[in-house]
Amino acid sequence: MTRGKDLVSPRTAAMQGYVPGEQPSDARLVKLNTNENPYACSPLVAEAIQAEARRLHLYPSPCADALRRKAAQIYGVREDQVLVGNGSDELLSILVRACTQPGDAVAYPVPTYSLYRTLAEAAGARTIELPWQGQALPASLAEADARLTFLCSPNSPTGLALPLDEIAAFTRQARGVVVVDEAYVDFGDATALSILQQHPNMMVLRTFSKSFSLAGLRLGLGFAHAELVEELVKIKDSYNVSRLAIAAGVAALEDYDWMRSNVARVRATRARVTARLRAAGYGVRDSSANFLWIDCSAHGGGKAIYERLRQASVLVRFFDQEGLREGIRISIGTDDQMDRALSVLAAA
């Protein structure tokens, strides 16, 4: 009997696929495991989607021109410096396919977003994973001579934000493309967009999933020099973003203050929960994202706390991998959701 592994390439058969956070069907669970925004998106988004639904018999703009124009206006770049993707994950995939050949190096400090490894392996690239301690980048990262380097800032699962001067210094040394993955940046204080124009080998990624409360829509933005964007467009699917997503993205950017208001609520809750957890004896890192990394080593370890919370119908993220087993990552939910989690953690 033919097995699935016999029908795909040896490289694919040998891979471990990316494992997304659990998406439970039990509505009774307090879901704090995938860094979703607990607050609704702007009402303008639903209105835009409803209006655009009458035009679904027509293909969307291949490059999402309306969204590129609006994003250029909001973020202070030229329209030809914007690339729109089906989530920032698609932009990551485009970058790997466009910038690497089999055997080329893809580098990144770890722990970080594990999709980087999956995408690199799928393309036959070599992964160089360098342990990341503290705030400074690993010194050997500049020696990797990688065709593509991923810097997740703020980083997942730690919440750490890299200083802009360190990102700039590294990018000046890098031979290949440096991707600054800013999926969580709206919950922090600084963005690499402010130094983008100085670095023709830099691309900054954003997503609508987190701060704009549109995780279910799948929409992302990439910013780079026009010459790099032009090359990446060759790789993307012809119509990679739907008419509904384009309309929703424009509407979300037009109501930017709505996003900022939700972000302010998340940041306030993050500060309160951090203080409560530290008072209860947990090690909690300063976070620039909409989640916290909690060291549970004094409370039985990450798996024990994950299971205790799960028994109380609170779902968080436990990473069963070296360097992360002693902790959990918990998304910032509403104040009521966080109080429910805190009551369990305080009793552990």
Structure letter (DSSP) for residue 317: B
Is the pLDDT assigned to residue 26 strictly greater than 90? Answer: no
Q: Could you tell me the sign of the dihedral formed by the alpha carbons of 304, 22, 118, 178, in that order?
A: negative
What pLDDT is recorded for position 139? 87
* pLDDT value at 223 more than 80: yes
Q: Which amino acid appears at position 338 of this protein?
A: M
Q: What is the C-alpha to C-alpha distance for residues 266 and 272, in angstroms, rounded to an integer?
A: 10
Rounded CA-CA distance 234/334 in Å is 42
How many C-alpha atoms does 63 have within 13 Å on its Cβ side?
A: 17
Packed helices 302-311 and 335-347: angle between N→C axes, nearest 10 degrees = 120
pLDDT at 294: 98
Contacts of 99 (CB under 8 A, 6+ apart): 147, 148, 176, 177
147-163 pLDDT, tens digit per residue, is: 999 999 999 999 999 99
Return the residue matching tokens 């995780």: 215
The whole-angstrom separation of Cα 173 and Cα 146 is 11
Tokens representing 69 are: 């124009």
Q: Which pLDDT tens digit goes with each residue over 231-276?
A: 999 999 999 999 999 999 999 999 999 999 999 999 999 999 999 9
| Domains assigned to the chain | 19-40+257-347 (3.90.1150.10), 43-254 (3.40.640.10)
- Tell me phi and psi for residue 254, to 5 degrees: -70, -25
